Amino acid sequence: MLKKAILILAAGAASRFGSPKQLARIRSKTLIQRTYDCATQLFPDDTFVVLGAHRDAILEELTVANSIPQSRILYNRNWALGIGESINFGIQVLESQYDEIMIILADQVQITPRDIQTLVDSCVEDAIICADYNGGRGVPAIFPRRYFEHLTGLSGDTGAKALLQREDIKIIAVPMPNAAIDVDYPDDLVNIE
């Protein structure tokens, strides 16, 4: 059986949000905690969070809440280089331990354990499994080991989207409307609550 991990990206500065959106709350839970709790329902020992900007404030909150074990937190010192750098960093840390890694964004707060399970259930050998929403492919997405090299080559603001758009590799896109809902501005929280 292939060993899977979930990598939650939460390293961004959230400049459009105006404050650390990872700590914004929906129904008393922070965004980062909601996403982590969702992921750990299926992968309790194999869910990791990449932090960067606002690390100290986020760690303080997580320590007070005693919610995410320190061993599951990965600190990307080069977070300011963009999401590609955070993906690169996270994959490099985990690639020797896992056969497949799912990438999800901390602000995709409407993703459910059922959504994650649907992606897992759709896995076939050597195919990338990704969410399909708003007429395109995106994360969450599961990447088999053979694509880790592509992911560790990312940098800057280029995430995995280009890889998910390629026609020359096997990609299974799973309809997932919940993946379209993310948080960029404080007003986005009102629509979610």
Residue located via tokens 């932090």: 51
Question: pLDDT tens, 4-47?
Answer: 999 999 999 998 998 899 999 998 899 999 999 999 999 999 99
Location of structure tokens 């979930």: 6
Cis status of the peptide bond prior to 140, with omega within 30 of 0: yes
Q: Residues 66-84: pLDDT tens digits? A: 788 889 999 999 999 999 9
Long-range contacts of 58-66 (CB under 8 A, 24+ apart): 58/10, 58/20, 58/22, 58/23, 58/32, 61/23, 61/30, 62/32, 62/33, 65/30, 65/33
CATH number of the domain at 4-192, out of 3.90.550.10, 3.20.20.70, 3.30.830.10, 1.10.150.20?
Answer: 3.90.550.10
